[in-house]
Structure 1
Amino acid sequence: MATARSSVDSFDYHHPEEQYLALMKQVWTRGSERVDRTGIGTRSVMGTMLRFDLADAAMPLITTKRIYWKTATRELLWFLTGETNIRPLVLQGVKIWNEWPHARYVRETGDGLSLDQFVERIAADEDFAERWGDLGPVYGKQWVDWPTYRYRKDGLYERGPGINQVAEVVQSLRQNPGSRRHIIEGWNVAELDRMALPPCHKTYQFHVADGRLNCVLYQRSCDVALGLPFNLWSAALLQRMLSQQTELEPGELVWMGGDTHLYLNHAHLIEKQLAREPQGRPRLEILRQPSSIFDYRVEDFAVEGYTPHPPIKAPVAV
């Protein structure tokens, strides 16, 4: 199949979600079939774009299947703590990251512990969680504690203070809104081999114009069916939080995909979802303004106007 490109503007559609469905259809019908890291196989296109206007509290929350936005919100708040162990997520019932440490545990120990048993042990046993629940320096570690090293007179290097990219972006948006350097980067080349999964949503850049905060997210690898709905929500949520903290109005979210793909074993999900019509216009209300970007709680967010179709289950590729 020929590789296709997608660059769609939300204003071309009656409902903003239609561009997401158009992208899904394009990848499924025109994408090149490829052998991927997981061995499952994908249909893939390279270089895609979606645009969403967040004015009037609008959010890109997919309605053609139920998206558990509180789960995605808990993950984002976990990123902002800099934590890399799944135990805080497990204790909140968030299952997003469980498969990766479980696969490592089985591979390294030869123990046939089931995923459910592994997760139960992570929750009950702090020592076990410390040994087997860590994902390496993923997302949040890079966002709020990017490692630095200082050169010494003896020719060696010593560990320096970590860089809190999120805090620096908040400060730069307040003090120098016209800067072109409002960036949060997750792709730390020196530490990729220590990560359970190198960052997919890797680069966030923010832009201020006419009192509005815009965001571009570049995602190197994107599972359109399972991952992208969460990625869109999380990026828009981070943008809304930064808007509130910097006293700017939320502007446009521009999502850019590199390898944009669908897994071959997700055919049932794709066909069912493409047969559905978007319904409703979800809005997000932030119920309080914390003193810091790092002090939000899941209870601070309320979604209105969300009347989704039923969920569609599909396996996660690890």
Structure 2
Amino acid sequence: MSKSAESDRHYEWQYLDLMREIWERGDERVDRTGVGTRSVFGAQMRFDLADGRMPLLTTKRVYWKTATREFLWFLTGDTNIRSLCEQGVQIWTDWPLDRYRRETGDDISREDFSARIVEDEEFAAQWGDLGPVYGKQWVDWPVHEPAGQGLFRLRPHGINQVADVVHSLRTNPGSRRHIVEGWNVAELDQMALPPCHKTYQFHVSGNRLNGLLYQRSCDVALGLPFNLWGAALFIRLLAQQCDLQPGELVWMGGDTHLYLNHADLVEAQLSREPQSDPRLAILRRPDTIFGYRIEDFEVSGYAPQGHLSAPVAV
């Protein structure tokens, strides 16, 4: 395909091509969940974010507000699902629910568990925490400091990687160290789920801010649509805060897979064609990257095809 033809091609074909490659030629594997996957290793996609463009899938409905609420939650550093459940966001509920059922023997429904998390602060404190997942590492990476006699103590406030990246983009745009990392080896066993979208790196080219996301593990059917939105949103917020223009999102996947029990979703989605060109407007510029609210975002031109669902492998 010529360069001009490639530029005219709808951005979503990259995603559908990847899905088809995995489903038709991926290596069938036994995975941690026991469900089984088809997998490829080392995938890449690129998306232009100029003029409000976002990699929002149109061949099924992607709940971009839910994805945005999750991303804003990461920026708070919170690791308890209570504030998400209060907003009706259930992305992370399955992991603490699974732990609750295992440890108590109570086969509570997802809806009742989430409602109790919202209503009962003590219950939420006991059962709703995910450990030091994404947001904790992004804005409060723990640091130990000498405490005398060969001992070390945990510093009250850790490293805010996001704030540091904002500062470095503003003051040293040519740096090769604009990185936000979630893979804290020392704390992986304390996390409900080790970070899948683990490494973000940013690059300034002229007045354009580009971003790269590396995922060690990628659930293409359910997780990747949210991951693409979140990574593009990260670039958009950083660009606004640093007086830059959004450039390109480069996405890279390690173990990039489809679950075997997602067959109906995969086959239905591969039968569809992309059909709209959504744009994101950010309606307000708060004083810091930590000040955005869900009301600050508006999507236009989004005409997705019908919702497709599949079970989450916990």
Which residue of the partner structure matches residue 182 of structure 2?
Answer: 186
Residues in 2 aligned to 1:197 and 1:25: alpha-carbon distance in whole angstroms: 27
Match of 1:311 among 283, 307, 310: 307
Match of 2:107 among 112, 135, 141: 112
Residues in 1 aligned to 2:107 and 2:271: alpha-carbon distance in whole angstroms: 40
Residues in 2 aligned to 1:112 and 1:122: alpha-carbon distance in whole angstroms: 15
Q: Alignment identity in percent?
A: 69
Residues in 2 aligned to 1:255 and 1:162: alpha-carbon distance in whole angstroms: 28
Stretch of structure 1 that moved more, 150-159 or 139-148: 150-159
Q: TM-score, normalised by structure 1?
A: 0.96
Which residue of the partner structure matches residue 14 of structure 1?
Answer: 9
Kept in 2, the 8 Å contact 1:85–1:129? The answer is yes
Residues in 2 aligned to 1:10 and 1:118: alpha-carbon distance in whole angstroms: 50
Kept in 2, the 8 Å contact 1:136–1:196? The answer is yes
Question: Match of 2:136, as an amino acid?
Answer: K
Stretch of structure 1 that moved more, 273-282 or 150-159: 150-159
Kept in 2, the 8 Å contact 1:10–1:52? The answer is no
Question: Match of 2:292, as an amino acid?
Answer: Y
Match of 2:241 among 219, 240, 245: 245
Match of 1:92 among 61, 84, 87: 87
Correspondence 1:24 to 2:19: yes
Structure 1 portions without partners, runs of 5+: 1-8
Correspondence 1:124 to 2:119: yes
1:280-300 Cα offsets, whole Å, 9 max, x none, are 111000001100000000000
Match of 1:275 among 271, 277, 296: 271
Which residue of the partner structure matches residue 54 of structure 2?
Answer: 59
Residues in 1 aligned to 2:5 and 2:130: alpha-carbon distance in whole angstroms: 36
Match of 2:200 among 201, 204, 209: 204
Query: Residues 30, 12 of structure 1: CA spacing in aligned structure 2 closer, same or farther, 3 A cutoff?
Result: farther
Does the residue aligned with 2:19 lie in a helix, a strand or coil?
Answer: helix
Question: Match of 1:14, as an amino acid?
Answer: R
Kept in 2, the 8 Å contact 1:10–1:16? The answer is no
1:205-237 Cα offsets, whole Å, 9 max, x none, are 000001100000000000000000000001001
Q: How many corresponding residue pairs?
A: 311
Which residue of the partner structure matches residue 231 of structure 1?
Answer: 227
Structure 2 portions without partners, runs of 5+: none
Kept in 2, the 8 Å contact 1:86–1:98? The answer is yes
Does the residue aligned with 1:294 lie in a helix, a strand or coil?
Answer: helix
Kept in 2, the 8 Å contact 1:53–1:251? The answer is yes
1:41-99 Cα offsets, whole Å, 9 max, x none, are 00000000000010111000000000000000000000000000000000000010010
Residues in 1 aligned to 2:267 and 2:193: alpha-carbon distance in whole angstroms: 28
Match of 1:151 among 142, 146, 151: 146
Does the residue aligned with 2:212 lie in a helix, a strand or coil?
Answer: strand
Does the residue aligned with 2:158 lie in a helix, a strand or coil?
Answer: strand
Q: What is the CA distance between 1:13 and its match in structure 2? A: 6.0
Q: What is the CA distance between 1:152 and its match in structure 2? A: 2.9
Q: TM-score, normalised by structure 2?
A: 0.97
Residues in 2 aligned to 1:239 and 1:279: alpha-carbon distance in whole angstroms: 24
Does the residue aligned with 1:49 lie in a helix, a strand or coil?
Answer: strand
1:158-178 Cα offsets, whole Å, 9 max, x none, are 112300000000000000000
Kept in 2, the 8 Å contact 1:10–1:19? The answer is no
Residues in 1 aligned to 2:5 and 2:232: alpha-carbon distance in whole angstroms: 15
Q: What is the CA distance between 1:11 and its match in structure 2? A: 3.4
